[in-house]
Structures are given as C-alpha cells and as structure tokens.
Amino acid sequence: MALIKKHTEQVVEELPIFSTLEEAVDFFESCESSDDNDCLTKKDYAIESISKFNGGGEYLVSYINNETADKKVSTKIASVISNMDSDDAPIEEIMELLKLDNAYTRNLAISILRDFGDAIKYYIVKFLIGDDRDLRIFAINVLGDVDFAESRDMLVELLETEEDINVAMTAVDYMGEIGEEEDILLLESLKDRFSGDFYAEFAVDSAIKLIEG
Amino acid sequence: MPLVIFVDDSETALASTRMVTNAMPIEVKQYTEAQTALAEIKAGMKPDLIITDLNMPVMNGLEFLQALRAVPSTSRTPTLMLTTETKAELKQQGKALGLTGWIVKPFNPAQLKQAITRVLRLPA
Amino acid sequence: MAYLLSKENFTKIGEFIYRKSGIFLEEDKHYDKLGKYIDNRADELGIDNFRKYFYKLRFDDSDSDEFQALMNAITVNETYFFREKDQFEVLVNRILPELDDIMPKNRPLRILSSPCSTGEEPYSMILHIVEEGNVVEKRDIEVVGIDIDSTVIKKAKIAKYSERSVHAIPKNILSKWFVKKPLGYELCEDLQGTVDFQVANIFDKTQMRKLGKFDVIFSRNMLIYFDDASRKEVAMTFYDMLNPNGYVLLGHAEYMSRIVSVFNAKKIDNTLIYQK
C-alpha cells in the first residue's frame, strides 16, 4: 500500500440534462434522501437545475415549507436560493415562511433573506413599521448585517417610539456598533421608557460605552 | 463547582447573564453557537446545567436540545430556554425534549439566579 | 503606546469581522496587529479616530477594497510547510486511522487540499503521512490539490521551495525528504508526483463532480474571503464531495457552525473538525 502517484480518473455517474422544470422535479423526487448519499448527490444536482427554470424557485420554497423536509436538502436549497439573482429569486414566497410557527423554517428563511441585502430593503422598511414584533426584530437583525447607508437612521426612528422591550434592545445592540455620539441621549431615554428593567439598563449602558469608544 | 453553560448568539445577552452569575458559586462557559458547545460536550465537557436561547442562526435552541438528548452524557442534563418567544407550541416542543424551564426575555436577574440556584440545588 | 483602537472597539470591530468573514479574533492574538494596522491605515486616509475608520469600512466600501485590505492584514496569507501543524497531526494520528477502520478497504483514502496554492499544504500532508507510516502501509492514500490559479499549480508541480517556505519543518524531516539546492529545497524524487495537482474552480460544479468523492477536505483560510452566500455554497459543495463520515478542516479561527448546520462539529486534541 502506498501513496498514489498518478492522476486517477474518477468514475462519476453521468447526470442528465433537463429541458423542463417537470423533468428536473421528477428527478429530484425520484429517490428518498434519508441517509442515502447517492440520493443526496442526485437531489443536490436537481436543486441546482430546478433553480434555473421559471417557477423553480417557488417549487424549492414549497419543499422547505413541508413538515417532512429533509434538513440536509433544505440547507442545500437555502444555499442555492441565496445565490440566485434577486430578480429571479422567490423572495415573496420566502417572506411567507417568516409567518410560520416552525422556528427552524423561519430561521432558514431569515438566513436566505439576509443574503439578499439591498433587494429586500423595501420589505425591511415595511417590517420595521409593521405590527408584528418578531418581524420587527428580524428586520433589525438584517439591518445590522447588510449595512444599508440608512441603517442608523432607520434604527433611530424605530427607537424613538418602540414600546416592545425586546425589539428595542435588539436595536440598541446594533446602535452600539453604528450609533453616533448624538444618539446617546436617545439611548439614555430608553432607560426611562423601560425603567427598572435590568436588561434594558445593561444593554443601553453597553451600547453607550461602545459608541464612546 | 457545578458547570453552567450559556448559548446565545447575542454577545450582549451573554454579557448580561455574566452580571447575574458573577457572584454565584458556579463555573460558567459561554458560546455564541450551539454547535461549538455541542462539539465540546461530545469531547468530554460535562455541564450540570445548560441555558440556551431559542432563535439562533444555523442551529436553534430546540435543535440544540434535540442534539443534546442524543448524546449520552447530556441526555438528562437540566436545560433552560432563555428566549423572547412565548408561543405555547414552542414550549410544548421544549417540554417533549425534556426542557426543565422556560424563562422569557428580558429576564429578571433575581428570577434567573433563583432558577439556577433551584436547579443546581445550591445553598440559598 | 495607545492605539486608536481601544479594547471596546476591538470587540466591536471583531464582531463585524466575524459576521462578515467568519474569522474570530482574539484579543491576545490579534489586538496589537489590528491596532497597528488601523493606526497606519487611518494615517493614510487622513483620519484621526476609530469611528471614522469603522464608518468607512462599513458604509463607504462599495467594492470591498477596504475590507479586503483589512483581511489581508490580519490573516497570515503566506503559505508555508506545516502551517497550523496540529491539524496535520490530527489528520494522521486520529482521522486517517479512524477512516481506515470504517471506510471500505477496496479503495484508497482520498484527501483534498483546496486551495492548494504552491503545494505546501498537500505536501505537508504527505510528509506527515509518510512519517506516521502506519496507515499508508495498510492502504493506498491519494492526495489531490486544487487551485484556481494556474501559475501556482505550475509551481506546485515543480516542488521547489524557498528557505522561508520550509522554515517550520523539523531539520531531520527536511534533510530526509528534501534535497538542498542553491536556491532552496526540492522535494526528493520518492515524493515527487504524490500529489495530483489540478487547476479547478470550487464554484464550477461540473469540475468538482469530476474530481470524485473524498474522505478528508482541508480548506483553510479560503472561506473567509467569500461573502455569506458564497460561503454557504462552497460549504454545501464540500458536503456533497465528502464520503459519509468524511471530514472537513478549516483554518483555526474559522467556524463552520456559523455557515451551515449539516456537519457534525467535533473537537479532537483541541482542534475543531467537521464530519459528514
């Protein structure tokens, strides 16, 4: 036995080329992944192909949305969608996933959307001023990640009136990073708005310390 | 001293819990991802109590809990969820995985201290 | 000497860098280096405080040049033999023996180095493998090195290295497996050709499929240069390229658990490795 000293040609199964979405979907559905490595490879290939067809993105999202979805397959789908052009990506459909109770699917959707940055700015603004507090938190997390030039202004505006302590503190965390000296007064005022709350005091003080550098 | 581990993707949240546990007779380790904590557990770390956030990227608190239960050394380790979530369905899922308690953020320091003291049976 | 970078600001910029590149900075390892770099850069940019530098990095860096420059400054880009050598030790002392036990005996164990650059990493694997001796006695081992840059692949095939490149190789191993030349060292004939070098692009799925499946993949300090979406894509490509129970190893400061959840993170001899 030894170190192999030549280039060895690998025997690799030929994978079909699909001319329609249906063909690609059939191939995708032709095996049960569970723990079968060959099946996973087939599905990976099918997912890449499906994403290139019209309507493919929507099909992929519907798979993630299924209770019985295989996590490895879902992760691959998430990665493929993340790399789609924002014009082709099924962004509306992914937004729908944010309303689900399933923490895993919701977090997966968030991780996909985070990669679209600018393309979802419109939605981020919508969430920030919306009624759903979980979506406000999500929107703030995206702001922190994508660095819109307007991120700080948006957070300041939110903090001026935010009543939910968890939403406010999520914003405060980011203010620590992107806030300016002139924001310190606003931050201090949050301690009054949420007076007596240990976490609010702690988070605000931490943020102010970071801003003061 | 009993070992308590905290998992939360927010550094501020972790820092705030340190304020609470500072003067307690416990050893504390903190992680910003569940998988790193899991790797250390599989490599032999034996926490006496695990306190985790729910909404974290890549591996959330419930998935972490599920993975912990599959490891012999942590199949019965007491676990607390420390989260902004309050949905009954999520609490049910936690219960089914043997979760000891659910503390809603923002947490009251006395409440957190009390929960840790009770679970670990520390002197009052 | 006080840097523009305070300890608090170190935490702040550290979190930003972690989110953007997956690199985790530690105060005792990186504070001084980063402090000096930022002082220099601020000077060049004509700015006098950390906030302005950080603002530029976050909001005024449309083509990512500033961020890239920062990354180049804080990561050790140069490749040399036995860099982060505990990973090679884990490879030959723990991973290969384990895989030798569980993988079918009728095929070689295959290891991929990506990117392999001028060959120091895959040849370091080879040196550790032949020095350990036991596994390679029992079964065939194949090492493949890929890089998108054809010039480095060309150099890798020639297997001639400078003093700088071999500085971390213990003297006895150096004299055993290398021939001293006027301009440096050349890998001895016995080990020439033991790495299959190929020009390949990790994002080209067809090329990657043609390489076949591997049991171990080393990809150190490559993912940190990609954006989140690309990082996920490559992580999933690695997952697909691995045989079940195979391993991926990243650079010491990189964390797969920030990228995708499909791997099982394992800690062995203080090294984090990721198993399929």
Same domain, C255 and C154: yes
- C146 contacts C112 by C-beta, under 8 angstroms: yes
**CB within 8 Å: C136 and A48:** no
Residue C181 above 90 pLDDT?
Answer: yes
Averaged pLDDT, C9-21:
82
Please, which chains are in contact with B (at least 3 CB pairs closer than 8 A)?
A, C
Averaged pLDDT, B40-53:
95
Interface test with B, best of A74, A135, A145, A202 (most B CBs within 10 A): A202
Pairing mode of beta strands B3-7, B49-52: parallel
Residue C76 above 80 pLDDT?
Answer: no
Asked if residue C1 belongs to a domain, the reply is no
Same domain, A141 and A90: no
Asked if residue A24 belongs to a domain, the reply is yes
Q: What is the pLDDT of residue C142?
A: 96
Q: What is the pLDDT of residue C88?
A: 97
Asked if residue A147 belongs to a domain, the reply is yes
Residue A146 above 80 pLDDT?
Answer: no
Lowest mean pLDDT segment, chosen from A93-97, A188-192, C194-198: A93-97
Structure letter (DSSP) for residue C80: -
Of the three residues A96, A115, A134, the one that is the final residue of a domain is A115
CA distance C49 to chain B (A): 24
Asked if residue C80 belongs to a domain, the reply is no
Q: What is the pLDDT of residue A13?
A: 82
**CB within 8 Å: A7 and C196:** yes
Averaged pLDDT, A134-141:
88
Same domain, A32 and A80: yes
Q: What is the pLDDT of residue C7?
A: 84
Of C75 and A64, the one with more pLDDT: A64
Residue C94 above 70 pLDDT?
Answer: yes
Same domain, A25 and A102: yes
Taking CB atoms and an 8 Å cutoff, what residues of chain A touch C53? none
Asked if residue A10 belongs to a domain, the reply is no
Structural domains of chain C, count:
2
CB pairs under 8 A between A and C: 104
Same domain, C117 and C239: yes
**CB within 8 Å: B15 and A173:** no
Same domain, C26 and C152: no
**CB within 8 Å: A104 and B54:** no
Asked if residue A139 belongs to a domain, the reply is yes
pLDDT over 90, % of chain A? 53
B113: domain range? 3-120
**CB within 8 Å: B11 and C15:** yes
Same domain, C110 and C43: no
Same domain, C120 and C54: no
A36: domain range? 17-115
Sign of CA dihedral C199, C201, C202, C207: negative
Averaged pLDDT, C53-80:
82
Taking CB atoms and an 8 Å cutoff, what residues of chain C touch B11? 11, 15
C156: domain range? 85-275
* CATH number of residue B62's parent domain: 3.40.50.2300
**CB within 8 Å: B35 and C257:** yes
* CATH number of residue A46's parent domain: 1.25.10
Q: Which helix (H) or strand (E) holds C91?
A: none
Residue of C nearest to B38 (CA): C265
Structural domains of chain A, count:
2
Taking CB atoms and an 8 Å cutoff, what residues of chain C touch B43? 266-268
Q: What is the pLDDT of residue B76?
A: 94
Quick one: pLDDT band at residue A148, thresholds 50, 70, 90?
confident
* CATH number of residue C17's parent domain: 1.10.155.10
Q: Is C261 on the interface with A (CB under 8 A)?
A: yes
Asked if residue C238 belongs to a domain, the reply is yes
Averaged pLDDT, A50-70:
93
Residue A95 above 80 pLDDT?
Answer: yes
**CB within 8 Å: A101 and B15:** no
Same domain, C210 and C130: yes
Asked if residue C148 belongs to a domain, the reply is yes
Chain mean pLDDT for chain B:
92
Asked if residue C169 belongs to a domain, the reply is yes
Q: Is B57 on the interface with A (CB under 8 A)?
A: yes
Structural domains of chain B, count:
1
Same domain, A204 and A156: yes
Q: Residue B80 has which token pair?
A: 């607390």
Of A122 and A23, the one with more pLDDT: A23
Averaged pLDDT, A7-21:
89
Averaged pLDDT, B59-71:
93
Same domain, A149 and A169: yes
Q: What is the pLDDT of residue A120?
A: 87
ipTM for the complex? 0.83
Taking CB atoms and an 8 Å cutoff, what residues of chain B touch A110? 57
- CB proximity under 8 Å: C 104-123 to B: none
* CATH number of residue C120's parent domain: 3.40.50.150
CB pairs under 8 A between A and B: 51
Chain segment C208-253, per-residue pLDDT in tens: 999 999 999 999 988 888 888 889 999 999 999 999 999 999 998 8
Of the three residues C25, C51, C74, the one that is the final residue of a domain is C74
Of the three residues C37, C55, C74, the one that is the final residue of a domain is C74
Of the three residues A115, A146, A169, the one that is the final residue of a domain is A115
Residue A111 above 80 pLDDT?
Answer: yes
**CB within 8 Å: A176 and C244:** no
Q: 3-class DSSP state for residue C122?
A: helix
Averaged pLDDT, C127-141:
93
**CB within 8 Å: C210 and A37:** no
What's the rounded Cα separation, in Å, for the pair B30 and B111? Answer: 19
Same domain, C60 and C172: no
Please, which chains are in contact with A (at least 3 CB pairs closer than 8 A)?
B, C
CA distance B44 to chain C (A): 9
Of the three residues C74, C96, C128, the one that is the final residue of a domain is C74
CA distance B60 to chain A (A): 7
Asked if residue A2 belongs to a domain, the reply is no
In degrees, rounded to 5, the angle at the alpha carbon of residue B57 between the alpha carbons of residues B40 and A146 is 130
Q: What is the pLDDT of residue C1?
A: 63
Averaged pLDDT, C52-59:
87
Q: 3-class DSSP state for residue C120?
A: helix
Averaged pLDDT, C122-128:
97
